[in-house]
Structure 1
């Protein structure tokens, strides 16, 4: 499943001057950043910071009216088909059909991508092995734990072999052990399969100091650098302290010290 084919010549994701509003409320304000191919990048922000809005724009659930978004060079507004073919998505809300088996859920998704039944079965076997869920192939989704459901959703997102994977609060509602296992799985996929992962979270313990972080606060981009660099720039000792300081500053910019 390793990606390639010259995709590393351009950014995996390029977001330029993107703004979005809900009526009079500005959810994103001139957000600009890019992420590299074969990389793990954390989108860090409190609830309401604009993470889900940004993901909705990247995945073309919302139309990009201000600014541009490119996935491996393909503009999401001008060439949505080409852009979305390179994108796999794991949404925050559970999206499996609980009355279907794991195989049926994945087979249906494969058909939406035009993957024939023989090839679909081969890919389903491969992605389930990748996320260590092969033994649950014929089990109904409702019989799975929360962490197992999430693993199946990750497998489904990988079926069409996208070089970029978006994960919106992928560990929400899971216990500590399951959260750590899912995060480790994604980091391993980046390392072994060469995909790019864009991991949205508000949980500081999911950020490693070696990660690149994109920090949103009040709809504004307030940091875009390695976690260790963000710590140094804010004069703090941990990424948690840095994140808290940046979030406070965005919420009350005037008179902040």
Structure 2
């Protein structure tokens, strides 16, 4: 496999300062580079035991636990990877995945090379105090008849303030919109507050009367603040998933 990577992949990424660093195990081959700010970015090609004749791509960085698979960048590709039968088809698979990496994967790596907002214990304590004190009532955030419209309004404000802050974390603003987000979720779906036992995290639980449906609103808004352009951190995305889950 290394010879295939050397022939197909390296010529396309060497000018981006990616180098081959070796195998993590018997079925994965990794390239990496150091990004501005010190984050290490990884481009990995790997097989999985259940489909040894398929090749997939995985992206990651040293500053987040998030990973990105090829099918998250191109939903037309099988999640198991691109199948191959011989050296020729293996090279075609490598070329296809590398072009996908260049067109979409680099952008993901850049986004994931800056850390998420770090929430300390005192931020959760302040948030819990504000929740218990009834910081927000319906008159302070008049809900509309549309859940999506209300969530979109909240998300747009968080994104606006995040971009205006230009890298400065405004914890008060994050707390403010975490409470508003929680209020809207409770208004439409129902739910109750609970202080998580192990780490004392304020959670909104039993959303829509489902025991398994719960969220950490402060962490969700902090993530959105960190990476406004990252779809998995979108509050709207979560609401859409929750609606589907509640319909089952």
Give the TM-score taking structure 2 as reference length: 0.21
Q: When you count strand as a share of all residues, which structure comes out higher?
A: 1
Give the TM-score taking structure 1 as reference length: 0.21
Which structure has more relative contact order (CA 8 Å, sep 6+)? It is 1
